[in-house]
Amino acid sequence: MWFKNLAVYRFTEPFELKAEELEQKLQQQPFRACGSHDEFSFGWTPPLGRAADALVHANNGFFMLCGKKEEKVVPGSVVNEMLQERISEIEEREARKLPAKERNRLKDELIFELLPRAFSFSKKTYAYIDSQGGWLVVDAASAKKAEDLLSQLRKCLGSLPVVPMTATAKPAGVMTQWLTDNASPKDILIEDECELRSPEEEGAIIRCKRHDLALPEIKNHLDSGKQVIKLAMSWAERLSFVLDENLAVKRLKFLDLIQDQAADIEAFDETEQFDADFSIMTAELAQFLPRLLELFNAEGAI
């Protein structure tokens, strides 16, 4: 249940739906498996899993959602091999060269024929809404995965007034200054991983892992004009993560202080454990996200 990545959005208008109202909206598009000729299917599934029915898990003004996407996989090599055979048969039979338009049509027809026999796989994407703080947070490592969920949510709600969290000060510039001066804010500890990029288009990229970032060789790269576009850090001995130049949080870990708090709670079943973990996680992130805004002078508040 613990999020591993944070794609963070801010509501530009207060989110006023109650859990029951949000549930009704999501019930319009529950997850259904792909039909025989569907390339993919996307819908909502209970965050608590098969043992639950509710599509919204609510706790103290936080609403957990789970989108599920199923996709059919038709290997490109198979399509290309069968397509070439069909093209060759037609060209030989009709003694003419097939134009690109006909080739594309044949390819579409071939994929349509293969879909009922295609292998399918599914993935879940979790998100939560903080109605009081005005946040929408998606556990997604890529912007596309987050946008897929937001697009589906927008269809259900009719509108979704959110914007990605942005900063007035460029995060790359701020993180570069931290490393250059070897001085980060008191509650931020720089760890042993970073990614540096030259400012010119398609500039050189340097990746460092398990490396002392205070060493002169790192400073030499910074002095030559490279900027920090990813940086591993921890916050207040509570969270560790990698932050990128778009303020996306990757490889998030809840440290011992938080894990001990979760371990101290006696839960009688999986539902109670999920609820307790969700409560601790969202309360922690409700403190962390405003601090992230402050560190980078970020915009987007209601």
Burial class for 289, CB neighbours closer than 10 Å (0-12, 13-18, 19+): buried
C-alpha to C-alpha distance for 48 and 25, rounded to whole angstroms: 18
Q: Are 59 and 282 spatial neighbours (Cβ–Cβ below 8 Å)?
A: yes
C-alpha to C-alpha distance for 302 and 275, rounded to whole angstroms: 28
User: Residue 138 forms beta bridges with which residues?
Assistant: 7, 127
Give residue for tokens 């709670």.
265
103-126 per-position pLDDT tens digit: 899 888 878 887 777 778 899 999
Give residue for tokens 């295609």.
118
- Which residues, in sequence order, are CB contacts of 283 under 8 Å at separation 6+? 60
Q: What is the pLDDT, as a whole number, of residue 298?
A: 58
Residue 9 has pLDDT above 60, yes or no: yes
What whole-number percentage of the chain has pLDDT above 90?
Answer: 73
C-alpha to C-alpha distance for 239 and 262, rounded to whole angstroms: 14
Q: How far is CA 256 from CA 152, 240, 264, 280, in A?
A: 35, 11, 12, 13
C-alpha to C-alpha distance for 246 and 262, rounded to whole angstroms: 30
269-297 per-position pLDDT tens digit: 888 999 999 999 999 999 999 999 999 98
187-207 per-position pLDDT tens digit: 999 999 999 999 887 889 999
pTM metric for this prediction: 0.85
Residue 302 has pLDDT above 50, yes or no: no
